[in-house]
Amino acid sequence: MVLVISLEKAQLPNQGGDFYKTLGGGVWMAPAVDRDTHTVFFVVGNPSPDLYGVERPGDNLYTDSMVAIDLNTGAYKWHYQYVAHDVWDLDAVSPVILTEARDKSGQMRKVAIHGGKTGHVYVHDRATGELIRFSEAMVPQEAMWSLPTKTGARMLPGANGGVEWSPMAFSPKTRLVYAANLHQPMTYHVEEAQYPGGKLWLGGAFKVIPGEKQWGRLAAVNVDTGKLAWKVDTEQPLIGGVLATAGGLVFNGEGNGYFRAFDASTGKKLWEYQAGAGVNAPAVSYMVHGKQYVAVAAGGNTQLDFKRGNSVVVFALP
C-alpha cells in the first residue's frame, strides 16, 4: 500500500514575524543525548570566512568539531576537532549517533559516531572523546589539504562531502553504519574579503569542475573495524539520509525521485519506487496497530538543484 500526502496547502503555525526572521537561512542538527550520563553531543560547522583564513588565525575552536556538554549545566566535557583552521568547508554537519563499538583490543565501548564531509566515519569514546578509529575513505580523496589559490586548487571530495548533512543509520544486527555520500570534484578559489556586515562571507568560491562526473555512493561501514562492507554507486550525488530497519533493510532516496530498499548485509537492491520529485530526506519507520510503515518526504533539494516536490509518501510493509 502506498499513500501520498500533498503538503501544498499545509499551513505553518502562526509564530509571528520575529520567529521566522530568527530562523533565517540557518540549519540546525538535532543533538544526541545520553540520558544515563546526562551528556549532549553535537557537531559544529566551519568558521567564516570559509576560504580566507588570514582573517581568523589559529585552530578556530570549536568549529569542525564534535562537542560534548553536560545536559544539566551546559558545562564543557570534551571536544574533538576534525579539521583545524578549516579553509575547505569541510564542516562537521551529519548528526551524531550513540551506539556501541569494539576498540582496538576488542572490548565493547559506548561510542559516539559521526559521518564526515572528509569521507570517513569517525568512532569516539563517548566518555572522553578519544578517537577509537576512523573508517576507510568512502569516496575518492585527492589533494585534500591543498590550500585554495586565486586561480583555483582542485580537491576531492569537495566542499559538499563525503557526508553532507545527511543523517547516517546504524544496525546493531549487521554492525554496519550506512552513509549517503557525494562525489563532487571542485576547485577552491581564495580572495581577500573583509566582513560584509551580516551577509554571506566566503572569502572566495568553490566551483564544480565542468566535464567531471558527479555521483553518489551509499556506503556500509563496519564500526568495529572501519572497513567498508559494501557500496552502491548512484548517478547523482546523494543528499538526504538513510534508514536501517530491524528487518534487514536499508532505505535511501535519490535526487532523481527514486526511493530504494537494499539488503542491509549485502547492498543488493530489493525494491524501488518513483516518487516524482527528489527524495532528499531521511525516511522514518513506525508501527500502527501492529503494522509497520515507512514514510519519506519527496521535496527535492535546492543545494544540488534536484526536482522540487511537496509530498510525503507512506508505504505499508507486508
Residues identified as active-site: 89
Please give the order of strands across the beta sheet that includes 65-70: 32-34, 39-43, 65-70, 76-81
Report the C-alpha gap between 266 and 245 in whole angstroms. Answer: 14
Instruction: Kindly state the DSSP code that residue 266 receives in the 8-state scheme.
Output: T
Report the C-alpha gap between 291 and 164 in whole angstroms. Answer: 33
Residue tagged 583490543 (cell numbers):
105
Report the C-alpha gap between 312 and 235 in whole angstroms. Answer: 23
Closest C-alpha among 62, 63, 66, 64 to residue 32: 66
Please give the order of strands across the beta sheet that includes 131-134: 97-102, 108-115, 121-125, 131-134
Report the C-alpha gap between 187 and 159 in whole angstroms. Answer: 9
Q: What is the DSSP string of 9-75?
A: T-------HHHHHHHTT----PPEEETTTTEEEEE----SSSS-GGGS-S--TTTTEEEEEETTT--
Residue 84: all three cell numbers together: 583545524
Report the C-alpha gap between 77 and 40 in whole angstroms. Answer: 9
Cβ-based neighbour number of residue 238 at 10 Å: 29
Report the C-alpha gap between 293 and 225 in whole angstroms. Answer: 32
